């Protein structure tokens, strides 16, 4: 019996002022602060110029806000209904980028649309959260312990995972797996499955190492374990990044005073390595503040998930929280030399539109879920 | 509303996420503290020193050794002085100082300026290669910006011209290696083929430089020791190689191969004129290379495998064996040679216009009677000849991994002629094939292999690199008595009355047999005429016949085979004398 499948009455439809009154400023504010920091650091990365990073990024942020507000104040059922469709679109983009995408560093990642480059692997992370939330939305506790109910979501993850591994974008691929495992765990999958998967994973590691990796990926991992292995190739970037970050000290070298970043010793300072630039110019204080704002966002998202009275909204908020945490944890660990260089941007900070827009879309969804937290949604989504 | 049970699961399980998140966040904070607070000084120092500058340290390259273990190509330690124009404020002034200190010649300065003009400003320009201690000390004491001193190695080619084609040389790679201005790689011959084995692994010195680019110290943690390469041991006998080249050079141009019949070891392999790769670096290098390029004797061609020659009368060994094996003749059957033979509507001449009278097989080989072999060839047909030629190793490449330009040559039949000449095979083609002319083309190595197979009745395969295994060859499957009949003739060649009577040797009773050959000049002179202007004197040289000699010794238990080709020497005399000299060295060196 599915007692929770009660239809939503029109009486529960909210007007815009009602929605505004439920708007979660506690989630909106930290997002805006991080975006502000991003523009500030990118201005410095351009050597104290709006070009080539700060101004284009500002434009993308404005576009992001349009997406954000539209999604936040739209009818939540639109997203419930179109969850699979969005997933399908993101998936097709992944397929496209795998076969016709532009190659960088031995990886196919960009889809050149003529006017802009799209990185579909950024979109698929949000799309997967949405699809999984939709899938699990009406399962009861009994259904959630039945293993065959996990086959579909497993496939939803594994197929794009395989394509992204082939690109090969290891960072995004592993993020997808972590999102999936996180979602499975929180909805109530049996614990023994996780143990079995963990054992299988350990056993498969040698096969992946010798059979499934590109030379540059192996190099990165060897370099990670021993940075002196190739100090002028793979190791150069991470060595320079560490010097930049460490030399920032407690208070930093000052805005636009980072010698490493300003003198171009730090590669990718505007994208994946933007955290090191922040650390160099604003020191421990600056880096710590950003980490705390991120933590703030995580806690608010968790609170949203916990207080949401419909399962779809709860899972969207939780899934997005997972995604957001994985994003910045991998990125920061990577640039601080705690993880191999896998190529994941710093959320809301790194230069680039695909990651930014998919994140703004995600924040919009969570706002929407929070605004509609008292709504009850039927299985048909009608 | 959310299913109550499901809601409980969420509450229970979310604790794990919060805990994990808290732990991971703490890890990040601790790492940040470690880097920015505890290890701050270390990073700050590196940051102030700013950047790494990496210098690649070349390892000592492996040696190429002769079979006796004598180094043929080896590295010798040297000190180079070079400048990086970008780092100096005034390059002209710097060069004036260096000219004074090092006594640079006008020619050297010209090269330096030419190189600077050609290269980017950050690329190194060599000032002095083999710098002596006095000059080195003087320059290094001044510590001039832009001037670098690097210890490295220079390649020394002990055999000089006599081994250039075989051992090859090293030079700068086509794509420059960053931070390694003096990186070298094998360019030709064994140096190229076994580059990976000999190259070793480069090391690195990471120097710290400050914001203006001045070196401030060395990062010892990142120092990597270069690893020397492995030696390559060849089958070449140092003494025989030298003797062969010197003898060939006396006759200007040619090539030679000496083989060990038992192992297939190539004991000598030379092509003359050669070149000295040691002169490819330095101020006179360009002039030297230009001179070599212009030389009509083609010093860059490795004639032992790249040069194709009609085998001439040396081919008679094959025709004789083919006839004996097919049972078409007995060794004592006689043929009358009046000096010519009319067949069809053509008259075929013997090289001896007076004729040889009645000759049997041994006599025909000893005196190289053409009439005998014209008629023999016609009797057994081109297919039988071709079959024997292929069995004895002609039209085959042996060392193309080392010498990519090795040529297989041509052993024709009617299909070949139809395809490549576009005409039908006629009896006349078979007739002249009997004396190794017509379409037949072979190289020096093939002829040596041919004789080695004949004297051993084994499928001898030549090799240039020694390994631990002693090669085992399959039986060739010829009748021993037929081989004996042919060798009877070859033994007479160096005896009084034979075509190489003047080249007889006797080293403690070990004597040499063999076969002379003269081949009409066709392909090479045609090609050379087409390439450009030649003076009358050269044309004359070019028109002369090639001389060939394939010899083996000792005659009672053949151990060595030597094949020599002297280009445009007129007759086979010089080739026979060269072969004899090499053979003597081989036999004497055994003691």
Query: Cα separation of A328 and A349, whole Å?
Result: 10
State how far Cα A113 lies from the chain centre. Answer: 22
> Last residue of a domain, which of B233, B249, B274?
B233
Q: Using an 8 Å CB-CB cutoff, list chain B residues near A181.
A: none
User: Domain for residue B41, yes or no?
Assistant: no
Q: What is the pLDDT of residue A263?
A: 58
Per the DSSP assignment, residues forming a β-bridge with B258 are B268, B562
| Residue contact B54–A231, C-beta within 8 A | yes
Identify the burial level of B536 via C-beta atoms within 10 angstroms of its C-beta, where 0-12 means exposed, 13-18 middle and 19 or more buried: exposed
Please give the C-alpha separations between residue A355 and each of A31, A119, A172, A296, A348, in angstroms, as whole numbers: 14, 8, 11, 20, 8
State the sign of the Cα–Cα–Cα–Cα dihedral B11, B17, B20, B26.
negative
Which residue of A139, A247, A288 is in closest CB contact with B47?
A: A247
User: B390: cis peptide before it, omega within 30°?
Assistant: no
Query: Cα separation of A328 and A151, whole Å?
Result: 29
Query: Cα separation of B514 and A372, whole Å?
Result: 105
> Last residue of a domain, which of B195, B217, B233?
B233
This prediction has a pTM of: 0.59
| Type and span of the H or E element at B233 | strand B232-233
Is B30 part of the contact surface with chain A (CB cutoff 8 Å)? no
Looking at residues B77-106, what average pLDDT do you find? 86
- Which residue has 């799309």 as its token pair? A127
Q: Using an 8 Å CB-CB cutoff, list chain B residues near A305.
A: 10, 14
User: Domain for residue A199, yes or no?
Assistant: yes
Query: Cα separation of B47 and A248, whole Å?
Result: 10
User: Domain for residue A3, yes or no?
Assistant: no
> How does DSSP classify residue B556?
T
Angle at which helix B238-250 crosses helix B573-589, to 10 degrees, equals 160
B24-61 b/e with 16+ CB inside 10 Å = b?
A: bbeebbebbeebbeeebeebbebbebbbbbbbbbbbbb
Q: What is the pLDDT of residue B40?
A: 92
**Nearest chain B Cα distance for residue A239, angstroms:** 10
| Residue contact A246–B42, C-beta within 8 A | yes
Backbone φ and ψ for B205, nearest 5 degrees, come out as -115, 125
User: Domain for residue B10, yes or no?
Assistant: no
Query: Cα separation of A361 and A65, whole Å?
Result: 9
Which residue of B24, B43, B222 is in closest CB contact with A246?
A: B43
Both tokens of B512, joined, read 């040499």
- Which residue has 């040499």 as its token pair? B512
Say whether both B263 and B334 belong to one domain. yes
State how far Cα B417 lies from the chain centre. Answer: 32
Say whether both B517 and B579 belong to one domain. yes
Show which of residues 43-82 on chain B sit within 8 Å of chain A, judged by CB atoms. Answer: 43-44, 46-48, 50-52, 54
Which range of residues forms the domain containing residue B124?
53-233
In this predicted structure, the answer to whether residue B405 has a pLDDT above a threshold of 90 is yes
Q: How many domains does one find in chain B? A: 2
Is B38 part of the contact surface with chain A (CB cutoff 8 Å)? no
Looking at residues B567-580, what average pLDDT do you find? 90
Say whether both B130 and B259 belong to one domain. no
CATH number at residue B405: 3.40.710.10
Both tokens of A380, joined, read 């048909």
Q: Using an 8 Å CB-CB cutoff, list chain B residues near A228.
A: 221-222, 224
User: Domain for residue A42, yes or no?
Assistant: yes
Q: What is the pLDDT of residue A240?
A: 80
> How does DSSP classify residue B87?
G
Q: What is the pLDDT of residue A216?
A: 66
User: Domain for residue A293, yes or no?
Assistant: yes
Is B11 part of the contact surface with chain A (CB cutoff 8 Å)? yes
Reported as a single tens digit per residue, the pLDDT across B8-66 is: 889 899 999 999 999 999 999 999 999 999 999 888 877 776 666 677 888 999 999 99
Confidence of residue B214 (pLDDT cuts 50, 70, 90): low
Say whether both B184 and B251 belong to one domain. no
User: Domain for residue A308, yes or no?
Assistant: yes
Question: Which residue of chain A is at minimal alpha-carbon distance from B178?
Answer: A232
Question: Which residue of chain B is at minimal alpha-carbon distance from A7?
Answer: B1
Question: What is the DSSP secondary-structure string of B341-409?
Answer: EEETTEEEEPSSTT--EEE-HHHHHHHT-HHHHHHHHHHHHHHHHHHHHHHTT-S--S-TTT-TT----
User: Domain for residue A4, yes or no?
Assistant: no
Q: How many domains does one find in chain A? A: 1
Q: Are strands B340-343 and B357-359 parallel, antiparallel or unpaired?
A: unpaired
User: Domain for residue B1, yes or no?
Assistant: no
Q: Report the SS3 class of residue B331.
A: coil
Q: What is the pLDDT of residue B537?
A: 46
Say whether both B225 and B342 belong to one domain. no
Q: Are strands A117-118 and A107-112 parallel, antiparallel or unpaired?
A: antiparallel
Question: Which residue of chain B is at minimal alpha-carbon distance from A244?
Answer: B47
Which residue of B5, B46, B179 is in closest CB contact with A243?
A: B46
Reported as a single tens digit per residue, the pLDDT across B264-273 is: 999 999 998 9
**Nearest chain A Cα distance for residue B18, angstroms:** 9
Q: Using an 8 Å CB-CB cutoff, list chain B residues near A329.
A: 24, 28
Confidence of residue B177 (pLDDT cuts 50, 70, 90): confident
Angle at which helix B4-33 crosses helix A274-307, to 10 degrees, equals 160
| Residue contact A186–B14, C-beta within 8 A | yes
Both tokens of B437, joined, read 């002319």
Reported as a single tens digit per residue, the pLDDT across B496-541 is: 888 888 888 888 889 999 999 998 764 444 444 445 444 434 556 7
Is B99 part of the contact surface with chain A (CB cutoff 8 Å)? no
User: Domain for residue B278, yes or no?
Assistant: yes
Taking one residue from A and the other from B, the number of pairs with CB-CB distance under 8 angstroms is: 138
Say whether both B168 and B274 belong to one domain. no
Q: Using an 8 Å CB-CB cutoff, list chain B residues near A376.
A: 1
| Residue contact B52–A239, C-beta within 8 A | yes
Is B42 part of the contact surface with chain A (CB cutoff 8 Å)? yes
B286: Cβ–Cβ under 8 A, 6 or more apart, which residues?
A: none
Is B114 part of the contact surface with chain A (CB cutoff 8 Å)? no
**Nearest chain A Cα distance for residue B202, angstroms:** 12
User: Domain for residue B32, yes or no?
Assistant: no
Give the CA angle between residues A40, A41, A43 to the nearest 5°. Answer: 65
Query: Cα separation of A130 and A179, whole Å?
Result: 11
Q: 3-state SS of chain A? A: CCCCCCCCCHHHCCCHHHHHHHCCHHHHHHHHHHHHHHHHHHHHHCCCCCCCCHHHHHHHHHHHHHHHHHHHHCCHHHHHHCHHHHHHHHHHHHHHHHHHCEEECCEEEEEECCCCEECHHHHHHHHHHHHHHHHHCCCCCCHHHCHHHHHHHHHHHHHHHHHHHHCCCHHHHHHHHHHHHHHHHHHCCCHHHHHHHHHHHHHHHHHHHHHCCCHHHHHHHHHHHCHHHHCCCHHHHHHHHHHHHHCCCCCCCCCCCCHHHHCCCCCCCCCCCHHHHHHHHHHHHHHHHHHHHHHHHHHHHHHHHHHCCCHHHHHHHHHHHHHHHHHHHHHHHHHCCCCCCCCCCCCCCCCCHHHHHHHHHHHHHHHHHHHCCCCCCCCCCC
Reported as a single tens digit per residue, the pLDDT across B225-243 is: 889 999 999 999 999 999 9
3-state helix, strand, coil split of chain B in percent (to 5) is 45, 20, 35
| Residue contact A265–B50, C-beta within 8 A | yes
Which residue of A185, A239, A249 is in closest CB contact with B40?
A: A249
Query: Cα separation of B492 and B362, whole Å?
Result: 8
Highest mean pLDDT among A341-345, B215-219, B242-246, B468-472: B242-246
Q: What is the pLDDT of residue A227?
A: 54
**Nearest chain A Cα distance for residue B27, angstroms:** 9
Reported as a single tens digit per residue, the pLDDT across B408-457 is: 999 999 999 999 999 999 999 999 999 999 999 999 999 999 999 999 99
State how far Cα B425 lies from the chain centre. Answer: 37
User: Domain for residue B40, yes or no?
Assistant: no
Say whether both B402 and B324 belong to one domain. yes
Taken as a whole, chain A contains a residue count of 382
Query: Cα separation of A310 and A378, whole Å?
Result: 10
> Last residue of a domain, which of B188, B217, B233?
B233
Q: What is the pLDDT of residue A381?
A: 44
Backbone φ and ψ for A57, nearest 5 degrees, come out as -70, -40
Query: Cα separation of A187 and A133, whole Å?
Result: 10
Candidates B1, B4, B5, B6, partner chain A, best to mutate (most A CBs within 10 A): B6
Q: What is the pLDDT of residue A11?
A: 41
Query: Cα separation of A315 and A317, whole Å?
Result: 5
Backbone φ and ψ for B116, nearest 5 degrees, come out as -60, -35
Which residue of A182, A186, A291 is in closest CB contact with B29?
A: A291
Say whether both B446 and B389 belong to one domain. yes
Say whether both B250 and B164 belong to one domain. no
Looking at residues B123-145, what average pLDDT do you find? 84
| Residue contact B3–A231, C-beta within 8 A | no
| Residue contact B54–A141, C-beta within 8 A | no
Which range of residues forms the domain containing residue A300?
14-371
Q: What is the pLDDT of residue A51?
A: 83
Say whether both B73 and B130 belong to one domain. yes
Confidence of residue B361 (pLDDT cuts 50, 70, 90): very high
A380: Cβ–Cβ under 8 A, 6 or more apart, which residues?
A: none
Which residue of A250, A259, A309 is in closest CB contact with B2?
A: A309
Please give the C-alpha separations between residue A274 and each of A227, A297, B163, B363, B425, in angstroms, as whole numbers: 20, 19, 58, 92, 79
Query: Cα separation of A58 and A37, whole Å?
Result: 11
Closest CA to B230 of B202, B190, B201, B200: B200
Q: Using an 8 Å CB-CB cutoff, list chain B residues near A246.
A: 35-36, 39-40, 42-44, 47
**Nearest chain B Cα distance for residue A56, angstroms:** 30
Both tokens of B342, joined, read 């009319």
| Residue contact A139–B52, C-beta within 8 A | no
A114: Cβ–Cβ under 8 A, 6 or more apart, which residues?
A: none
pLDDT in tens, chain A (382 residues): 344 444 444 445 788 898 999 999 999 999 999 999 999 999 998 878 888 899 999 999 999 999 999 999 999 999 999 999 999 999 999 888 877 766 554 444 677 766 667 888 889 999 999 999 999 998 888 888 888 999 999 999 999 998 888 777 778 888 999 999 999 999 988 888 889 988 888 888 777 777 666 666 676 666 665 555 544 455 667 778 888 899 999 999 888 887 776 655 666 778 888 999 999 999 999 999 999 999 999 999 999 999 999 999 999 999 999 999 999 999 999 889 888 877 789 999 999 889 999 999 999 999 999 999 988 876 554 4
Is B530 part of the contact surface with chain A (CB cutoff 8 Å)? no
User: Domain for residue B13, yes or no?
Assistant: no
User: Domain for residue A129, yes or no?
Assistant: yes
User: Domain for residue B407, yes or no?
Assistant: yes
Query: Cα separation of A288 and A271, whole Å?
Result: 19
| Residue contact A182–B17, C-beta within 8 A | yes
| Residue contact A186–B179, C-beta within 8 A | no
Is B1 part of the contact surface with chain A (CB cutoff 8 Å)? yes
């Amino acid at each position: 019996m599915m007692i929770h499948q009660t239809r939503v009455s029109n009486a529960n439809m909210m007007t815009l002022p009602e929605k505004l009154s439920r708007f979660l400023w506690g989630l909106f504010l930290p997002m805006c602060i991080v975006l502000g920091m991003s523009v500030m650091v990118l201005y410095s990365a351009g050597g104290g110029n709006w070009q080539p990073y700060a101004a284009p990024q500002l434009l993308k942020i404005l576009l992001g806000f349009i997406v954000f507000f539209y999604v936040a104040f739209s009818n939540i059922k639109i997203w419930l209904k179109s969850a699979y469709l969005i997933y399908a679109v993101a998936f097709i983009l992944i397929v496209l980028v795998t076969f016709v995408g532009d190659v960088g560093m031995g990886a196919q990642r960009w889809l050149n649309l003529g006017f802009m480059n799209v990185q579909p692997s950024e979109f698929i992370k949000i799309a997967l959260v949405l699809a999984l939330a939709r899938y699990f939305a009406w399962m009861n506790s009994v259904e959630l312990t039945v293993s065959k109910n996990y086959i579909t979501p497993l496939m939803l993850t594994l197929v794009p995972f395989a394509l992204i591994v082939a690109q090969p974008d290891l960072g995004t691929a592993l993020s997808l797996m972590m999102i999936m495992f996180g979602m499975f765990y929180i909805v109530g999958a049996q614990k023994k499955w996780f143990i079995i998967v963990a054992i299988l994973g350990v056993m498969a590691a040698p096969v992946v190492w010798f059979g499934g990796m590109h030379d540059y990926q192996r190099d990165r991992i060897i370099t990670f374990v021993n940075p002196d292995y190739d100090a002028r190739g793979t190791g150069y970037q991470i060595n320079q990044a560490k010097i930049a970050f460490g030399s920032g000290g407690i208070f930093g070298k000052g805005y636009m005073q980072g010698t490493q970043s300003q003198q171009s010793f730090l590669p990718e300072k505007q994208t994946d390595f933007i955290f090191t630039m922040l650390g160099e110019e604003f020191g421990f204080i600056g880096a710590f503040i950003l980490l705390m704002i991120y933590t703030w966002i995580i806690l608010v998202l968790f609170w949203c998930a916990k207080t949401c009275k419909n399962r779809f909204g709860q899972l969207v908020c939780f899934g997005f929280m997972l995604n957001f945490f994985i994003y910045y944890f991998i990125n920061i660990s990577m640039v601080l030399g705690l993880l191999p260089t896998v190529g994941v941007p710093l959320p809301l900070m790194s230069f680039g539109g695909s990651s930014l827009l998919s994140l703004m879309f995600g924040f919009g969804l969570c706002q929407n879920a929070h605004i509609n937290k008292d709504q009850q949604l039927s299985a048909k989504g009608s | 509303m959310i299913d109550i049970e499901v809601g409980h699961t969420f509450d229970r399980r979310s604790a794990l996420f919060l805990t994990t998140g808290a732990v991971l966040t703490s890890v990040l904070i601790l790492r940040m503290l470690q880097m920015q607070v505890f290890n701050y000084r270390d990073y700050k120092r590196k940051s102030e020193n700013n950047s790494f500058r990496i210098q690649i340290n070349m390892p000592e390259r492996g040696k190429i050794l002769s079979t006796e273990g004598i180094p043929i190509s080896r590295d010798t330690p040297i000190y180079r002085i070079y400048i990086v124009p970008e780092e100096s404020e005034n390059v002209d002034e710097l060069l004036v100082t260096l000219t004074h200190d090092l006594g640079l010649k006008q020619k050297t300065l010209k090269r330096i300026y030419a190189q600077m003009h050609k290269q980017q400003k950050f690329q190194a320009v060599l000032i002095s290669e083999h710098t002596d201690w006095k000059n080195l000390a003087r320059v290094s004491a001044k510590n001039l910006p832009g001037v670098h001193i690097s210890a490295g190695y220079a390649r020394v080619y002990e055999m000089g011209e006599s081994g250039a084609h075989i051992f090859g040389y090293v030079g700068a790679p086509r794509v420059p290696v960053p931070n390694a201005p003096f990186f070298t790689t094998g360019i030709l011959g064994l140096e190229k083929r076994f580059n990976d084995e000999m190259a070793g692994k480069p090391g690195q010195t990471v120097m710290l430089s400050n914001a203006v680019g001045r070196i401030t110290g060395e990062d010892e943690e990142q120092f990597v020791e270069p690893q020397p390469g492995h030696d390559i041991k060849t089958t070449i006998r140092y003494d025989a190689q030298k003797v062969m080249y010197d003898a060939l050079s006396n006759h200007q141009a040619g090539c030679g191969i000496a083989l060990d019949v038992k192992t297939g070891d190539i004991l000598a392999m030379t092509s003359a004129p050669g070149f000295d790769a040691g002169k490819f670096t330095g101020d006179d290098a360009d002039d030297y290379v230009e001179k070599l390029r212009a030389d009509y004797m083609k010093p860059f061609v490795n004639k032992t495998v790249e040069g194709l020659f009609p085998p001439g009368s040396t081919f008679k060994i094959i025709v004789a064996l083919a006839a004996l094996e097919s049972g078409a003749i007995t060794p004592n059957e006689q043929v009358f040679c009046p000096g010519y033979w009319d067949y069809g509507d053509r008259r075929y001449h013997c090289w001896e216009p007076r004729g040889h009278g009645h000759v049997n097989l041994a006599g025909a080989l000893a005196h190289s009677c053409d009439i005998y072999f014209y008629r023999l060839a016609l009797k057994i047909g081109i297919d039988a000849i071709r079959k024997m030629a292929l069995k004895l190793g002609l039209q085959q490449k042996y060392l193309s991994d080392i010498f990519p330009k090795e040529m297989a040559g041509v052993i024709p039949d009617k299909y070949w002629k139809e395809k490549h000449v576009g005409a039908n095979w006629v009896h006349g083609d078979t007739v002249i094939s009997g004396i190794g002319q017509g379409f037949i083309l072979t190289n020096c190595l093939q002829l040596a292999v041919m004789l080695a197979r004949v004297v051993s009745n084994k499928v001898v395969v030549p090799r240039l690199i020694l390994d631990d295994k002693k090669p085992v060859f399959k039986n060739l499957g010829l009748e021993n008595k037929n081989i004996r009949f042919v060798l009877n003739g070859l033994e007479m060649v160096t005896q009084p009355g034979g075509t190489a009577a003047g080249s007889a040797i006797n080293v403690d009773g070990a004597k040499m047999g063999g076969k002379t050959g003269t081949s009409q000049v066709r392909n090479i002179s045609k090609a050379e005429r087409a390439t450009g202007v030649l003076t009358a004197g050269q044309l004359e040289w070019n028109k002369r016949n090639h001389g060939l000699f394939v010899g083996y010794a000792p005659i009672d238990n053949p151990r060595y085979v030597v094949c020599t080709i002297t280009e445009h020497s007129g007759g086979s005399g010089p080739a026979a004398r060269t072969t004899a000299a090499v053979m003597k060295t081989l036999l004497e060196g055994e003691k």
